[in-house]
A and B are shown apart, each in its own frame.
Chain A
Amino acid sequence: GNSVTQMEGPVTLSEEAFLTINCTYTATGYPSLFWYVQYPGEGLQLLLKATKADDKGSNKGFEATYRKETTSFHLEKGSVQVSDSAVYFCALNYYSGYSTLTFGKGTMLLVSP
């Protein structure tokens, strides 16, 4: 079946540091890939997505590239801010007549001033 594996957190960084959160997946076919972010006390929000191999999703300074050869979708940001502190979820969806949406377990990011 489909699965998503994310690096365990928490990831602790100082402001302006470089961020990478690793995400690898196992899926049949060619899924769409997503990163969602959950701020404290809120629901998940879409951060970015990519729908085919070599696509790069980007938003708010975050980027992730759909790498089919390594089945990865790592999240990166060049300079994190305190306001980026949140839980980040990698997810995939593969539609073959019914929904197969799969989330990773989430990675908490803590950014200190």
Chain B
Amino acid sequence: EAQVTQNPRYLITVTGKKLTVTCSQNMNHEYMSWYRQDPGLGLRQIYYSMNVEVTDKGDVPEGYKVSRKEKRNFPLILESPSPNQTSLYFCASSLEWQGSSPLHFGNGTRLTVT
């Protein structure tokens, strides 16, 4: 089954403790992206990747890192999480990004930073 898989679904951590949220897609998609969803703010893009070893900042990249060493994986790294990073995170992928390709989303990771 074609899908985007994120892990974990739920994560509670403390301020400053490094964490990684994994994302993997099995559709051979070139484009991958991370979003955070907050009440009243909708979806905001954190980072995106047009292909292997090519990443770029989205609208809210501060406090996050990503890497794209393989086509299928696009982990999101929080080196020193803070409470304002408490949010619902989504990974998404797309076949390519020429305008009309839709995004395929994972089921989300709900992160709480205390």
B42 touches A43 (CB 8 A): no
Contacts of B99 in A (CB 8 A): 31-32, 51, 93-95
Contacts of B41 in A (CB 8 A): 105
B84 close to A (CB within 8 Å): no
Interface of chain B, main secondary structure: strand
CB distance from A70 to the nearest CB of B (A): 21
B contacts with A, residue count (CB < 8 A): 24
A46 close to B (CB within 8 Å): yes
B100 touches A51 (CB 8 A): yes
> CA of A34 to CA of B100 in the docked complex: distance in angstroms?
9
> CA of A34 to CA of B56 in the docked complex: distance in angstroms?
23
Q: 0/1 per residue, B68-91, Cβ < 8 Å to A?
A: 000000000000000000000010
23 interchain pairs (CB within 8 A)?
A32-B100, A34-B102, A41-B108, A42-B107, A42-B108, A43-B90, A43-B108, A44-B43, A44-B105, A46-B103, A51-B100, A93-B99, A93-B100, A94-B99, A98-B56, A99-B33, A99-B50, A99-B97, A103-B42, A104-B42, A105-B40, A106-B42, A106-B43
Interface residues of B (CB under 8 A from A): 4, 31, 33, 40-43, 45, 48, 50, 56, 90, 92, 97-100, 102-108
